[in-house]
Structures are given as C-alpha cells and as structure tokens.
Amino acid sequence: MIVRLLLFVFILCISAPVNGQSSISGQISSDDRTSLAFANVLLHNAPDSTFIKGSITDMDGRYIFEEVANGSFYISASMVGFESKASEVFQIDNGQSFEVPTITLVEGLALDEVVVKSTKPLFVQKIDRMVINVESSILSSGSSALEILERSPGVIVNRQNNEISLIGKSGVVILINGRNSNMPQSSIIQLLEGMGSDNIETIELITTPPANFDAEGNAGFVNVVLKENPEIGLNGSYSISGGYGNGSTTSDNISFNYRFSKFNLFGTYSFLRNGQGQIITFRRSSLNEQNELESLNTISTRDPVRRNHNLRLGFDYEISSKTIVGALLNGYDNQWTMDAINSSKALPSATSAELINTELNQWRHFSGNVNLKHNFNKDKVLTIDLDYLYYNNENPTDYTNRIFDSQGLLEGEEFIKSDKSTPINFVVAKTDFSNTLSEKLAIEIGAKATFSDFDNTVSASNLIDDVFEEDPTLTNTSNLNENIFAAYTSLDFQLSDKTSLKTGLRYEHTDTEVTTQTEGTVVDRNFGTFFPTAFISHKINDSLNYNFAYSKRIRRPTINNLAPFVIFIDPTSFITGNPSLRPSISNSIKFDLNYKRNLITLQYGIIKEGISGFQPRFDGDTDRLLFESTNIDKITVFSLTLGLPLRFSSWWEIQNNLVYINTKVENRIDDLNLLFKQNTFRAFSSQTFRILKNLTSELSVNYYGPNLFASTKTEGTYALNAGLQIDFGDTGGRLRFNVNDIWDSLEFTGNTIIPEQNINTSNTFNMSNRTFLLTYSRTFGNKKLKASRDRTTGADDERRRVN
C-alpha cells in the first residue's frame, strides 16, 4: 500500500525494467463436453478480485491472455443460459505459459445476477478508427468535450484560428452521435466547450472514412458518441461538477431512458457555465513607405462567460418485429458574453490605443429527425431518414477606441458598433440499403440529398456627430444557396479466414451560388466528383495483423468561412470572411500494424486547394491587417503514430501515444512562390494506479511540438494533469477530483513571417488555466435490461457545414 502511494506521488513517465511476460490459455465447454464459442472469459487478480483483462472464446471454445505480469490469478467464465463458474487460483512466474484446466459450464434455468466491474482500455484501434473510451479516464470527469479532444492522440485544437486538425490536416468533420452538426468551426469549438464529458461515452477518430460517409472533410471525422441508457423501465444517470481556475466553472448533466413493451423514450439535458479569464497578446510589424520598421503590440485581457444549454429528446416505436420508427429532437442555446480591454502600443511613435469591447455571440439551434428501419430478413436492412436543421447566430459588439499620444495624453476617442445576423437552414433526405449476399460478400447502397441556404448580414458603424454612420467597407449582406446530391455503393469481401476487403465508390454533385449586396454573384459552381475508398485487413496470427486504407475526400468552404463578418483585434487589425473560397480535394493512404496491444500507423496525404483559416493579408493602402480563410495550392502531410501500452503490474499501467508529422505547404501569391516546412512531434502518456479496490488515480502529460498551419508556425507547449477517483459501489455513485494543467503551462503561440508580403505577426493565446474540478456522478433506476437501438440520422454530415 505504501509503495503504491509513493509511486503515484513521485513517478511520471519513468523507465523501468519489465518482468518477462507470460500467457494464460484454456478452454470453456458445456457439461456435455461441447466447446462453447463466444463465452465471456475474465482474468482476475486473486488477492483482491480486480478485473485485469477480458476475452471471448473462439469457435473451439478457446481463449488466451498474453502479456500477463507475475502474480496470482483466477479465471471466471459466463454465458447466457449457463451458470457462471470460476477456476482455482494459480500462480504465474516469469515467461511462463500456463494452461488453465477446462472450465465446464452447467446449463441453468435461472441465473443469479453476476456483477463484474471492468475498465475498458482508454484507446482501442479498429480497422478504420481509433476509439477513445472517455469513462476510462479519471481526468475526463468535469472536462468538456473539447478538452478531451485536446488530450487525444493526433488531435490539435488551434484556438488561434478556431480550427481542429487531425494527424496534421485541418478540415475535420465533427459528428455528434454520427450526426453532422453543420456549424461554423468557431461555433463547433464553443459547442464542444459547452458539452460535459459525463454525457460522453466514446470519441471516435476516423481518418479514412468509408464510402457510406459523406466525402466532406479532408482530415476525416471526429465522432462524439453520447451515452445511452439501454435498460427496460426507467433508468438514467446524473452528474454535478464544479471547479475553479482563473474563474469558476460548473457542469450539470442528466440523462434518462424509459423503455416498456415496444416503446422507448430517451433524453439528455446538460448545462455548462465557464467564466475563466483569458489573455491574448498580438504583435505585428511592417515597413512603411520610407522603409522604416513600425510595430504594434496589443495585449487583450478578456473576461468571458460561456453558458450552454443542451437538450436531446427522442423515441423509438417497434411497429412489428421487423420495423422500427423513431423521432429525435435536438437543440441548444450557446451564449458567449465578454468584456475585453485591448491595450496597444505603436513603435517608434510611442503612441498607444485602448480598445474596449463588449460582445455577445449567441448560437441557437434546433433540429428534428424522423426515421424508419425495416429488416426484410436477417440479411436485408433498409433505413430512411428525414432531417430539418435550423441555426441562428447573433453577434452584436460595441467598441470604444481611445487614442493616446507619446506622453499618454488622450488625443481622440471613437465609438464603433458591429453586428452580425446569420440564420441557416438545412433539409436532408437519406436512405441506405444493406444486403448480406453470403458469408463472404455483403453490399450496401445509398443516396442522399441536402438543400441548404443562409442569409448573412454584417455591419459596422462609427459614431460621428452623435449619429452612427455605416462604414461601407465593412457592411454587406450575403446569401448562399447550395444543393448536394450523392449516391454510393460499398462492397465487403471476406477473401479468406484471415483477409477481408472493403471497397466503395461515392459520387457527389454540388450546385453552389453565393451572392452579395455589393458585388452580386461571387460564386457560381456546378460540379460532380467521384470519391473511391478501399480497405484491406489481414490477420497474420492471433497477435499480429495489419490494415491498409485509401480514400479521396473533399472539403467545401464552411458557411462561416464564406460569410463576411468583422472582429476587431486592434484598431487596424480584424478577422473577416472570404466568399471567394474554393473547395479542396485530398487523397490519403494509411497503413496500420497491430502487434498485441501495440500499434504503428503510417499515413500520407496530399491536399489540393487546401483551406486554411486565420491567414494574414496586409493592405498597404489602408494600413489594415486582415485575417481570413484562404486557399493553399498544395499541402503534403506524412505522419507516424505509435501506440505503446505498458502494464507493470495488475495495479499500474501506462498508455503512451507518440505522433510524428511532417508538413510541407506550397503556395503562390501575386507571382510569389512560398514554401513552408515543419517537423512536428506530439506525445501523450497516461498512467493509471489502482491504489485500492475502490480508489484509483491517474497522471497524464501532453506535449505539443511546434506545428504548421499554412503560413503560421506554432511553438511547442505542454500540460500535466492528475486525478483521483473514489467508487462508492453500485448505489453510492462515484466521486472524482482532478487538476488540469498543473504547471499552468498550456498556451499557444503562432508566428507568421512573410517578408515578401510585408507580414510579420505573432499571437499568443492563453485560454487554458490551472483548474481544480470536483465531480459527483450516479446512476438510478433499473440496471438489468436489453440494449436500445443504436441509430444515426441523415444529417450526420450536414451539421459541420455550419463549421
């Protein structure tokens, strides 16, 4: 006990010799000596009955546990219709291969309830995605979905340009329960910040999606899977979380499921409030007409408060044994209010300015879905989905700008109002049909139609002689109408007992028109593209297998990329939209090699016309620096990912993930060829200590190496996190305490230096603070029921377009 406590306090990412690893194998049979396939087999630590590993028997009733540390163990086996049974305790020494005597299960009419507590691995690699089991991490409790993503392998959240990248590539599609949110990227980040982890079951990182996914998104998909309660009767869970860092944060969640007969009603509500302060520094320098260096340094002290209400309500009704209909309603109100003081100083003139702004940024969303699933037989399934999605963004901001001379005396004062109003509509129809033709061949076909439109009105006004007059250069109205039609087919081949092949082909036709009040039609595109995919999986033996994947993707400009808007950084620097953005196309190949629990992934991709946000453009005539999304001619990305889990004993294990990314950016602007290169390294290590049967601790470290976002290079940063969990049993709930960013070290600095364009900027975002969080969670209701239907909807890939 003392040794465990000392190790928890003093050990972080150490190197230690590992004892020779052993294996445990055996067989499960029935009382008539028939081998039992698909029986559940659990390996337990004998001294305290702690669960260590789980397995399922093969067709011969056999199982095997590899990489087992030294110690005393026993096996428990169970199967529906049979009484559970445990083996005798046995001892394992260095390098030993132990064969457990055959465990015989006896049929039973009524089985006593068996409760086995187990912990899923934090990371699970599948053929086309990595699955993060959120509940397996103590540090996830009380955190937001965005904070969990920031700690995930290969994921980088760039708060500077409100962008999420996956394995070095931007253009990630965010799905919620497989449904596309279609929100602007900045709003998705706000939504994820407002989504509590206690409502999240898993997060899936999908870098090479199959053909039944939309072709949208160069980098792939991040799917946030919310918890569902699968039991009959009334059951659910709730959690309460509170914390403090540079300001207070609270999070409350409740979910319920009521199932009876052929009807199932389910719902979730969550509320999050985050009032933590932020500090942003912005530095820019340029040469004036006299070839003299001028600089402007700005420090923004921000006092924001985010309030997020999120509601999900749905039902399923089983019309017959073959047909289920359902409906789903989603909605949220995400409100960001902020008071900020932006202090700027110009050199060499020594003049200064103070820009005070009060901002409201509110996103409201409602969506409705009706769906039908019909099983013609066990091999043929038809699904139909109809969706309507509505978003509305209101973003009024007031600015007070005071100018001071070199002596600090007030020279002048101006008042500016800006406003942005953006209602967005989507209508989506989708159908899929799957047919298992034989044991070795399955086919899936589908079609989808998406109709979307938005109106965006942005304005800026200056107070002149007590009257606000519009600034015509910053005022405009734009409209988008877009229709996307898609069809796909996918084939699954079981080439042999060890080799499987999945191929797919998707066709999408896009018709897009963007008009503005000042320029008329600025975008009129009508084009179609084929998107092939291929996956190969081969099992060499029980310990070794590999996967190969290829996919072609498209990334369309998001609505927020296209819609003009104005966000002032200082009096002469602001962020805006770019209605002339073009879609980008990417081609990617990926290779996975899995040896036992270890993983190696190689990925290579080329992106043409890549879309990159927050790119600077200097206007020498007006001395204004604009940040907007732009197209990049070519982006090449190579990545290597290593997953290296270690188990030193039954109570101490480590999950390590290492990512190396090589990025090359090639772009041509105004007859100028630009080339940027960057080698990036990222490391994640999480250690779990099972101190007592009901007491567990976790320690993790994240390192983010220097990275490249088009022409902007970010500096390295890191964070250390720790957590403690007390489990009070099935009826007592669970208490978690964690500290995020213990050293208060996590901040992001981005530098853009292009001398040929007179651009030299540096931005530092300190939006994360050392935060102490306490979370209590508990389940209620019936604990023993069958699972409800796992569904997605037709709008899964549309929700991101608001990104």
CATH no. for residue 144? 2.170.130.10
In the chain, the number of structural domains is 3
Q: Which of 60, 53, 62 is nearest to 22 (CA)?
A: 53
Q: Which of 222, 223, 219 is nearest to 639 (CA)?
A: 219
Q: Which of 623, 602, 713 is nearest to 161 (CA)?
A: 713
Instruction: Give the domain-ending residue among 172, 197, 226.
Output: 226
User: CA distances (Å), 579 to each of 474, 526, 769, 803, in order?
Assistant: 14, 16, 36, 15
pLDDT above 60: residue 783:
no
φ and ψ of 261, to 5 deg: 50, -120
Residues 303 and 178 in one domain: no
Whole-number pLDDT of residue 577: 79
Instruction: Give the domain-ending residue among 181, 198, 226.
Output: 226
Residues 617 and 704 in one domain: yes
- CB burial readout 526-539, b (16+ within 10 A) else e: eeeeebebbbbbee
Q: Quickly state the pLDDT bin for 205 (edges 50, 70, 90).
A: confident
Q: How far apart are CA 190 and CA 200, in angstroms?
A: 16
Residues 446 and 369 in one domain: yes
Which of 123-127, 326-330, 673-677, 710-714 shows the lowest per-residue confidence on average (mean pLDDT)?
123-127
User: CA distances (Å), 473 to each of 251, 401, 417, 418, 580, in order?
Assistant: 42, 19, 14, 12, 17
Q: Quickly state the pLDDT bin for 118 (edges 50, 70, 90).
A: very low
pLDDT in tens, 13-65: 333 333 445 788 888 888 777 778 778 888 888 876 777 777 778 767 888 88
Can you tell me the mean pLDDT for 724-748?
88
Of how many residues is the chain composed? 803
pLDDT above 60: residue 110:
no
Can you tell me the mean pLDDT for 776-795?
60
Residue 245 CA, distance from chain mean position:
24
Q: Give the whole-number percent of the chain exceeding pLDDT 90.
A: 37
Whether pTM > 0.85 for this model: the answer is no
pLDDT above 80: residue 676:
yes
112 domain residue, yes or no: no
Residues 179 and 78 in one domain: no
754 domain residue, yes or no: yes
Sequence letter at residue 375? N
706 domain residue, yes or no: yes
**In 466-557, which ranges are E strands?**
467-470, 476-494, 499-516, 520-539, 544-555
Q: Which of 603, 503, 732, 670 is nearest to 220 (CA)?
A: 603
Q: Quickly state the pLDDT bin for 260 (edges 50, 70, 90).
A: confident
- CB burial readout 126-164, b (16+ within 10 A) else e: ebbbbbbbbbbbbbbbbbbbbbbbbbbbbbbbbbbbbbb
Mean pLDDT of the chain: 83
Q: Does a cis peptide bond (omega within 30 degrees of 0) precede residue 101? A: no
What is the C-alpha radius of gyration for the chain, rounded to an integer number of angstroms?
A: 28
Q: Give the whole-number percent of the chain exceeding pLDDT 70.
A: 84
Look at strands 97-99 and 22-30 and give their pairing.
Answer: parallel
Domain residues for the domain of 511 are: 233-802
- CB burial readout 735-767, b (16+ within 10 A) else e: bbbbbbbbebebbbbbbbebeebebbbbbbbbb
Reading phi first (left if > 0) and then psi (alpha if -120 to 50, else beta), residue 370 is in: beta
Residues 420 and 279 in one domain: yes
12 domain residue, yes or no: no
Instruction: Give the domain-ending residue among 174, 203, 226.
Output: 226
Q: What is the dihedral of CA 391, 331, 178, 38, to 10 degrees?
A: 180
Q: Which of 667, 622, 660, 662 is nearest to 642 (CA)?
A: 660
Whole-number pLDDT of residue 15: 35
Which of 164-173, 176-185, 306-315, 629-638 shows the lowest per-residue confidence on average (mean pLDDT)?
176-185
Q: Quickly state the pLDDT bin for 381 (edges 50, 70, 90).
A: very high
- Collapsing DSSP states into helix, strand and coil, what is residue 562? helix
Residues 468 and 525 in one domain: yes
Quick check: 152 and 136 in contact, CB under 8 A? no
User: CA distances (Å), 554 to each of 214, 608, 664, in order?
Assistant: 9, 10, 19
pLDDT above 70: residue 158:
no
Can you tell me the mean pLDDT for 736-741?
92
- Collapsing DSSP states into helix, strand and coil, what is residue 191? helix
Q: Which of 413, 377, 362 is nearest to 191 (CA)?
A: 362
pLDDT above 60: residue 509:
yes
pLDDT above 80: residue 121:
no
255 domain residue, yes or no: yes
Q: Which residue has the tokens 């939209």?
A: 577
User: CA distances (Å), 626 to each of 152, 518, 562, 577, in order?
Assistant: 32, 19, 15, 10
Residues 707 and 752 in one domain: yes
CA-CA-CA-CA torsion sign (180, 503, 493, 322): positive
Burial degree of 662 (CB within 10 A; 0-12, 13-18, 19+) = middle
Which of 142-156, 349-363, 632-646, 667-681 shows the lowest per-residue confidence on average (mean pLDDT)?
142-156
Q: How far apart are CA 773 and CA 352, in angstroms?
A: 40
Whole-number pLDDT of residue 186: 58
Beta bridge pairs of residue 68:
22
Q: Quickly state the pLDDT bin for 404 (edges 50, 70, 90).
A: very high
- Collapsing DSSP states into helix, strand and coil, what is residue 188? helix
Kindly write down the DSSP assignment for every residue of 227-289, as one continuous string. Answer: P----SEEEEEEEEEEEEESEEEEEEEEEEEEEETTEEEEEEEEEEEE---EEEEEEEEEE-T
383 domain residue, yes or no: yes
Does residue 682 or residue 202 have the better pLDDT?
682
Whole-number pLDDT of residue 123: 67
- Select, from the ranges 103-112, 155-164, 543-552, the one with the highest average predicted confidence (pLDDT): 543-552
2 domain residue, yes or no: no
Whole-number pLDDT of residue 109: 41
- Collapsing DSSP states into helix, strand and coil, what is residue 775? strand
CATH number at residue 565: 2.40.170.20
Does residue 539 or residue 17 have the better pLDDT?
539
φ and ψ of 100, to 5 deg: -75, 135
Residues 647 and 593 in one domain: yes
Q: How far apart are CA 697 and CA 737, in angstroms?
A: 9
Residues 351 and 448 in one domain: yes
Q: Which residue has the tokens 């990630």?
A: 172
Exposure on the CB side of residue 278, measured as CA atoms within 13 A: 24
pLDDT above 70: residue 10:
no
Can you tell me the mean pLDDT for 87-101?
83
Residues 45 and 83 in one domain: yes
pLDDT in tens, 446-473: 999 999 998 989 898 998 888 899 988 8
Whole-number pLDDT of residue 7: 46
Does residue 617 or residue 310 have the better pLDDT?
310
757 domain residue, yes or no: yes
Can you tell me the mean pLDDT for 437-445?
92
Can you tell me the mean pLDDT for 121-141?
69
Whole-number pLDDT of residue 182: 58
Can you count the helices (H) and strands (E) in the chain? 4, 49
Residues 268 and 170 in one domain: no
pLDDT above 80: residue 634:
yes
Residues 214 and 259 in one domain: no
pLDDT above 60: residue 8:
no
Reading phi first (left if > 0) and then psi (alpha if -120 to 50, else beta), residue 110 is in: beta
Q: How far apart are CA 682 and CA 163, in angstroms?
A: 17
Q: How far apart are CA 706 and CA 677, in angstroms?
A: 11
Q: Quickly state the pLDDT bin for 793 (edges 50, 70, 90).
A: low
H or E, element range at 628: strand 624-649
pLDDT above 60: residue 791:
no
User: CA distances (Å), 193 to each of 143, 158, 187, 482, in order?
Assistant: 9, 13, 10, 29
pLDDT above 80: residue 277:
yes
Whole-number pLDDT of residue 2: 45
Nearby residues of 355 by Cβ (< 8 Å), 6 or more positions away: 341, 342, 344, 399, 400, 401, 402, 568, 570, 571
Which stretches within 444-568 are classed as H helix? 559-562
